[in-house]
Amino acid sequence: MHSLTSTQTQIGQTWLPVCALTELEAKARVLFRHDKAQIVVFISNGQIYAIDNRC
């Protein structure tokens, strides 16, 4: 299975792995989506990832 390339970003006091939209695997499960802010939080291979597409 393809592993996601990630970096770390801090949200409040919690660090989350972050990946580009192109790295999102089809098997990932979306946990939270905020379309107005263009943010998606999802889980894949037991890891929680966030995509922030605002920039």
pLDDT at 46: 81
Domain assignments of the chain as residue spans, ordered by start: 7-52
- Tell me: the pLDDT tens digits for 5-53? 455 556 666 666 666 666 665 556 766 676 676 777 777 778 777 777 6
pLDDT at 4: 45
Split at pLDDT 50, 70, 90, the class of 1 is very low
pTM over 0.75: no
CB 49 within 8 A of CB 34: no
Split at pLDDT 50, 70, 90, the class of 2 is very low
pLDDT at 42: 77
State the number of CA atoms in the 13 A half-sphere of 30 facing the CB.
Answer: 9
Cα separation, 15 vs 44, in Å, equals: 16
